[in-house]
Amino acid sequence: MHPRNRLILTATATFCAGLLTGATVLSDALRQAPPAQPAPTGPAPIGPGTVGQAPPPAERAPLEKPPVPIHTATAPEPEPLAEESEPPVVAPPAVSPEVTDALNARIEELTAGWGRMQAELADLRQRVAVVERRGSESDDDAAIPARGNRPASPAEQREALRSAGVMPEVVDDILWRSSQHSLARLDLYDEAARNGWLGTARYRQELRRLNEQRVSIEEEIGVDAYDRYLYATGQPNRVAVGSVLPGSAGEESGLLPGDIIERYGDVEVLDFGDLRAATSAGERGELVSLVIARDGQRLEVVLPRGPIGIGLDATRADPSL
């Protein structure tokens, strides 16, 4: 064969062998390559590679290490609250006997003052009752003054005392001494006014001395005759219960408004002064009997001596009943 032709044949065979080898390599490469991914529709991510194209796997930056969890310091649990305990009992300071006695004396003084105030109020009620009755009732006997009026003249007093059963000579003696007492009071007033010591402590002291010498008709003629005298002249001769204070000795003993007090212990009660003196006498707290009239009947109750806790009204009752 001609050398030239042999060279062409060799080159052709070499070229065909190269084509066959390339086709085989290309076929193997296509068989091992992963399937093509669809192109993203959104904007291409911006990265270190070509704009709009993800960098090759070899050029991608390694993933950052996972963040280390931060352990926050937990607050210590609160200590349990201590159980509430009762406050300590503080003993009261010791009180000396002198202080106790002084307090008791003060209490007694306040109690006595309250009793005096009640008595003054009762006296005022009695005066008001007398004024209200004045002229409202008529007397069948012309010799007896109008009911509710005290005898104003010696003649009226003489007739009233005689109607109460007092002997005439006793009546004249009482009226004489009573008139002398009234004249002494007038002289005292005139002397004090002339010498400028009217209303002073001296005048009050002298007036108190005269009042101690005042003639007491009740003491002169006795309780029974004085009771008849008051009733005959239309003056109140009984004390009635007007009201009862809750929790008082009067309520505990069963007193009711309208009860008429006739006797407190051994004392016959004709006016507020008699009852006040009787409750303040004797030993406080001792049991005494109280005789009352209720609905035409006489009853007896027992209560401790001292303030009764009742409001008082003045009234009249026939002593002969």
What does the pLDDT read at residue 241? 95
297: which strand partners? 294
Tens of pLDDT, residue by residue over 106-144, are 776 666 666 556 666 666 665 565 445 444 433 333 333
What does the pLDDT read at residue 123? 60
Q: Which of 13-27, 166-180, 185-199 has the lowest mean pLDDT?
A: 13-27
260: which strand partners? 240, 293
| Beta strand residue intervals within 194-309, DSSP E | 238-244, 260-264, 267-268, 287-294, 297-304
Higher pLDDT, residue 66 or 98: 98
Taking the C-alpha atoms of residue 131 and residue 285, their distance in angstroms, rounded to an integer, is: 36
Vertex 281 angle, CA 276 and 287, to 5°:
100
- Please, what are the domains in the chain? 98-137+236-321 (2.30.42.10), 141-232 (no CATH)
Mean model confidence pLDDT for the chain: 74
Residue 218 has pLDDT above 80, yes or no: yes
Mean pLDDT of 10-36: 59
Confirm if 279 and 203 have CB atoms less than 8 A apart. no
Taking the C-alpha atoms of residue 168 and residue 148, their distance in angstroms, rounded to an integer, is: 24
119-to-5, 124, 163, 265 alpha-carbon distances in Å: 172, 9, 31, 19
Residue 170 has pLDDT above 80, yes or no: yes
Taking the C-alpha atoms of residue 147 and residue 151, their distance in angstroms, rounded to an integer, is: 10
What does the pLDDT read at residue 286? 94
Taking the C-alpha atoms of residue 267 and residue 279, their distance in angstroms, rounded to an integer, is: 10
